[in-house]
Amino acid sequence: MKHKTITLFISLALLLTLLSPLAAAPPLQEGGQDYFIQADDWLSKLAEKFYGAPLAYPAIVEATNAKAAEDTSYTVITNPDVIEVGQKLFLPAAAEASSLLAQSAAPASLSHETVTVALNFSPPSLDPTTGVVSWNTLQLGLGETLARLNRNGMVEPWLAESWQQLNDLEWEIKLRPDVTFHDGKPVTAEAVKASLEYSIEKLPAAASLLKAETISATDPTTIQIKTTEPNPSLGSLLAHYNLVIFDAELAKTQPEQFAAKPNMTGPFVAAAFQKDSSLILTRNPTYWGQPAQVEQVEVQFIVDANTRTNALLSGQVDMAYQIPPEAVETVQQAGKLVKSISTGYQYFIILNVQLPQFAEKEVRQALSQAVDRTAISQQVLLGKAEPATGPISLIFPFALKEGYGYDPAQANTLLDQAGWVKGEDGIRAKGDQRLAFTLLTYPQRPELAQIGVVLQAQLAEVGVAVELRSTDQINDAIKAPDFQAALYANNTAPTGDPGVFLNNWYSPKGSSNWVGYDNPEITGLLDQLNLTTDPTRRTELASEIQQLVLEDAPHIFLVVPQFNIGLGERLKNYEPFPSDYYIIDNQLQVSQ
């Protein structure tokens, strides 16, 4: 373990010894106490609550595992990021926590293992200011944000230690003092300021998130952000991938080098990148947190799902991310493991509402009612999905509980009333305009093409003609002037809050609103949501917005999918994150 990390843990131990009477809130029982995990808990949060230091969480891990060795009612913690409601922990007294932290700082031998991972999306480069590459850098363990989501969908500090709103327009963010970039250069407030400003310059979505008028470094570990308008959810927005932190100086002065080997803060460093092929990741020797558990990760970018699955079956890779539902049984019968996780994602159809066939709300509602979501969930995705109820994934508490049912008779009635008449070929038309469109899918998510085939048949039953077409570059295709409709997958709460998704897609200024959708009533409620801090009121407003979106139907919401991760024997203890963030991190390790 690095000298600076040892020093950090010992310093924490001394700090706990000196300050534990003040830090504990509520005070711990003498000798420590049992604790049962609550819905919004994570280990670093508990460490901060009881010891005054979030980095003291290893003491809880060590003490709980020691108890578990003698009493099976305690949880065995193999991955600090994976805890569940109701699990029993042991919180050691402050003095014991200090001792455990000092012990955990003892040098440990690091694995020299290499792990091979097959992913479904291949970034065009590793420059996080290009497209959605910032998302890829979080997946790959290259980049980190000031905040992150935990496994319960809650936002917690990451590169930042804390943040607070000073007034309606100003926020103060305290940074961890021990973070460095991959080249060892310290991540100061000036460096974070430069990173955020460059992201705002290059990425409209980043500018939309922060709404920053000015960003200033007030001391080496503190930045202040003044926004152009109240932005009460800014703290949670710090977890968004478009605000990943990187060395802006290198990005500006040596863009080609940066695109191949970005200087970031994650537990892995990019050693060799080949576009559309592979990436070699090596352990970051200057990482501020726990060092990566493996020395190297070989990433293979395999867009085709069958090829990705076969790579796992043949032993070519240790992990195949997102294998298709129909391959799950085959993989399991071959002695491999499949872990399926519920996600914050939604599969839906984007409609170009500017086109005559989609301009009428009644037509869009009819399309929504003509879709049998249960059939898609059960027959296409083989039970690895749930029917969608609205814009937000069902795993979030602010999702709608009820949506469109399958009612082709009502769909036909709506289309009849709107003046769309069936022709001899069974396809409806109004004047010279046929009720027909091209529906795009993309191979990185192969199940969408299968869903498209089912949709084609279901919509034909009510007189709608659908032509299916696949494209490798779905985001470019949606922005094209001839775009009509697309099957799409999107994370509906990438920061644990409904505001990002709802603003991106349904505000006239939204970064994902490529088709120019504009509903003044929804826009007015979004304006209210963006100024509201009270969580209960935010949930109420989000529900109102979702209900209006459901009624206006600019999108056809289909299913909330599970992601299927195929694992070889070497990764049998891997615990997938409930989204496609943080796929590769410092906890990735070869199973013993």
> CATH code at 15?
3.10.350.10
CA separation for the pair 442, 215 (Å, rounded): 38
Same domain, 94 and 154: no
**Residue 175 belongs to what H/E stretch?**
strand 170-175
pLDDT, position 52: 80
Looking at the structure, tell me whether residues 230 and 371 fall in a common domain. Answer: no
- Other C-beta atoms lying within 10 Å of the C-beta of residue 443: 15
Choice between 13 and 124, residue whose per-residue pLDDT is larger? 124
pLDDT in tens, 15-66: 444 344 434 456 788 889 999 998 778 787 888 888 887 778 888 998 998 9
32 and 157 part of one domain? no
Among the ranges given (21-25, 170-174, 292-296, 316-320), the one the predictor scored with the smallest mean pLDDT: 21-25
- In our burial notation (b when 16+ CB lie closer than 10 A, e otherwise), range 389-413 reads bbbbbbbbebbbeebbebbbebbbe
Mean pLDDT of 454-469: 98
At residue 14, does pLDDT exceed 50? no
Residue of 370, 359, 402 lying closest to 546 (CA atoms): 402
106 pLDDT exceeds 70?
no
Please determine, for residue 6, whether its predicted confidence score (pLDDT) is greater than 50. no
Residues 238 and 384 in one domain: no
- pLDDT value, residue 1: 41
Q: How sure is the predictor about 10, in pLDDT bands with cuts at 50, 70 and 90?
A: very low
* Residue range of the domain that includes 25: 3-104
Residues facing 176 on adjacent strands: none
> Do 95 and 196 share a structural domain?
no
Say whether both 220 and 143 belong to one domain. Answer: yes
Where do the H-state alpha helices sit in 473-519? 474-479, 499-506
Q: Is residue 452 located within the same domain as residue 526?
A: yes
Residue 329 within any structural domain of the chain: no
Give the per-residue pLDDT at 9. 44
* Inside any domain, residue 187: yes
Give mean pLDDT, residues 440-457.
96
What is the chain's mean pLDDT, rounded?
Answer: 91
531 lies in the same domain as 418: yes
Confidence of residue 104 (pLDDT cuts 50, 70, 90): low
Closest to 412 measured CA to CA, from 459, 371, 462, 458: 462
Per-residue pLDDT band at 109 (split at 50, 70, 90): low
Same domain, 172 and 52: no
The yes-or-no verdict on residue 209 having pLDDT over 70 is yes
Percent of the chain with pLDDT over 90: 79
Is pLDDT at 4 greater than 50 in this prediction? Answer: no
321 falls within a domain: no
pLDDT of residue 8: 45
Is residue 277 a part of any domain in this protein? no
Q: Structurally, how many domains does the chain consist of?
A: 3
Q: Is the peptide bond before 26 cis (omega within 30 degrees of 0)?
A: yes
Tell me what pLDDT residue 81 has.
66
Same domain (yes/no): 97, 138: no
pLDDT at res. 153: 82
Mean pLDDT of 79-97: 84
* Shared-domain flag, residues 414 and 530: yes
Q: Is the CB of residue 225 less than 8 Å from the CB of residue 174?
A: no
39-43, 352-356, 580-584: which is most confident: 352-356
Q: Averaged over 94-108, what is the pLDDT?
A: 71
Beta bridge partners of 274: 278
CATH code: domain of residue 186: 3.90.76.10
**pLDDT for the residue 292:** 95
Find the mean pLDDT for residues 303-309: 94
Q: Are residues 540 and 406 in the same domain?
A: yes
pLDDT recorded at residue 211: 95
- Closest by CA to 466, choosing from 452, 478, 476, 479, is 452
| Inside any domain, residue 80 | yes
